[in-house]
Amino acid sequence: MKGLIISPDDRITVKFAIGLLKDGQMVGDTNEEMLARTFEEELEMDTVESHEASFRRPTFGDLVEISGKVSTVDGTGFDFNPLAIRLTRMKSLLKSWTLEDEDDGPIPANAESVNNLEPLVANIIGMQLDTALGGV
């Protein structure tokens, strides 16, 4: 049966759009159409950018490693932080993205850049990855 072993070359690509409202607030969604529909009159359409981020498809070993880094078990129970799972997954699996800095230069796709993302952008990317993985 095909698909039993995940290749290191298997990728998941997520798409998202970000832009600014008239008051300067950054907003984002899954694509430009959803962004425009959600924010209608308030969105500055000339600021809207579409982007992609590509991640390595996680293996069972990845899931165990990521879970171990963000959960704790003590005498009273089990605890985990969903945002820490999202952050760790993004930092561990990110391969490339189309994000650029203010000078139109590429922002490196690495753990440091993920840590430094605007929280809104990080959450949009992370939610898209969560959806692509089926909530795994």
When the pLDDT of each residue in the chain is averaged and rounded to a whole number, the result is 92
Q: Which tokens in the block code for residue 57? A: 């498809």
4 occurs within a structural domain: no
Structural domain includes residue 5: no
Q: Is 2 a domain residue?
A: no
Note whether residue 94 is domain-resident. Answer: yes
- The 10s digit of each residue's pLDDT in 59-108 is 999 988 888 888 777 777 777 788 888 999 999 999 999 999 999 999 99
Domain that holds residue 128: 11-133
Does residue 116 lie in a domain region? yes
How many domains would you assign to the chain? 1
46 located within any domain: yes
Would you say residue 62 lies in a domain?
Answer: yes
Asked whether residue 23 is assigned to any structural domain, the reply reads yes
